[in-house]
Amino acid sequence: MARTLTPVVPAAENISSGETHWASRVTYVDARRWAFRVSVSVSVRVPGRIPSMRYFKSDNTASVSREILDAIAACNTGVALAYGADRWSDSLDEVFGRFFETKVRVFTVSSGTAANALALATLCPPWGTVLTHAEAHIERDECGAPEFFTGGAKLSLVGGEGAKFTAADLEARLAWFDPHVHGVQPRVLSITQATERGAVYSVAETRALAKIAHDRGMSVHVDGARFANALVALDCSPAELTWKAGVNVLSFGVIKNGGMNAEALVFFDADRVADFEFRRKRAGQLACKGRYAAVQLIAYLESGIWKRNAERANRLAARIAAAAPQCLSVPCVTNQVFMKLGNERIAALSKEFGFYPWGPAGSGEARFVCSWDTPEEDVDALCAALATAET
């Protein structure tokens, strides 16, 4: 028997008048029998409405810094050679070389997933394995892209609090591998800076991990989606936290910290570039009009917004952490705050604030992320709401 299905837009009470809103998921409900529900991925137009929530879901929802928009506008005139042969793309090695105080090779890509997957594909053969944390982005949030682009290389997971692991953790995991043809061989160490739990690897910790990896003939990759937040938290130089500590390749994040649609892959050893340029082209990551990606990266570094934006995001997160320190599930170091609030408290806060419940389903943990342009008044409101929270 045919059923009449009525679209129900979620969280309608949190939508106010304004521009057109597009809902990515809508639940269709049987008009006669509410027990029958089907969720499908569609786009539904809700005229004259936009979300009015105070938003703390992620820093990739933030707007683009004015400095980057101005740089794009400034280069948007006349003819420029395509596929990275323009003068802006040609200057990236020099600009990043000054930032890192050494010679580097720099390539633009359009996302952090592309940067990570192509870096690992360049460093790791299909019969190799990449050692990384169990909560790393390359393990949890990249839809198998590292495995796909490496041609099937395995990710071997390491545990540890705060989504980071120690030198002892790494040594113990490496002891599992035997140098014979029946098993994958360790080829890459990949750490995240800052981690998916907002923690950071100190210079000394990074150096210790890199030494272990290098002693085993492995390369060291850093997923730096929030690299600027880590630099600000550690108050060290980019050089100290990367090549001086033994890092070979860095996925240099920009988008989460005020960028638009360009990230950088930084090679500190030109010999490791190998066939990367062919891999980038084959993956559809060699932009035709490369100047528009290159100017974003140049403006990000030369204007200093990498630091200003990260400082503000970290500062706002510290305010949230201080509002209910008894609820923190891990220390707040960068721009992410994790709290054990309980499921009822999370449900109540969700009526006004947009954020992600974290951890296993029903764990009662929540994640709040501050971006470079999070309004102060939104942080004020969240701090006031959290001030009444119990442990």
Where are the chain's structural domains? Answer: 5-51, 54-62+311-386, 66-305
From the list 77, 103, 86, the residue with the least C-alpha distance to 293 is 86
> Residue written as tokens 């932009």?
287
pTM of the model: 0.86
CATH of 54-62+311-386, one of 3.90.1150.10, 3.40.50.300, 3.20.20.70, 1.10.3720.10: 3.90.1150.10
Q: What is the CATH number of domain 66-305?
A: 3.40.640.10
The token pair at 304 is 């200093």
* Residue 249 CB partners (closer than 8 Å, separation 6+): 119, 122, 123, 219, 220, 221, 222, 265, 266, 267, 268, 272
> pLDDT truncated to tens, each residue of the chain (391 aa)?
443 333 333 443 343 333 333 334 433 333 333 333 333 333 344 444 445 789 999 999 999 999 999 999 999 999 999 999 999 999 999 999 999 999 999 999 999 999 999 999 999 999 999 999 999 999 999 999 999 999 999 999 999 999 999 999 999 999 999 888 989 999 999 999 999 999 999 999 999 999 999 999 999 999 999 999 999 999 999 999 999 999 999 999 999 999 999 999 999 999 889 899 999 999 999 999 999 999 999 999 999 999 999 999 999 999 999 999 999 999 999 999 999 999 999 999 999 999 999 988 889 999 999 999 999 999 999 999 999 866 5
Under a CB-based contact definition with an 8 Å cutoff, are residues 114 and 285 in contact?
Answer: yes
Model pLDDT, residue 344: 94
Cα 145 from Cα 148, distance rounded (Å): 5
With both helix axes pointing from N to C terminus, report the angle between 291-302 and 92-100 in degrees, rounded to the nearest 10: 20
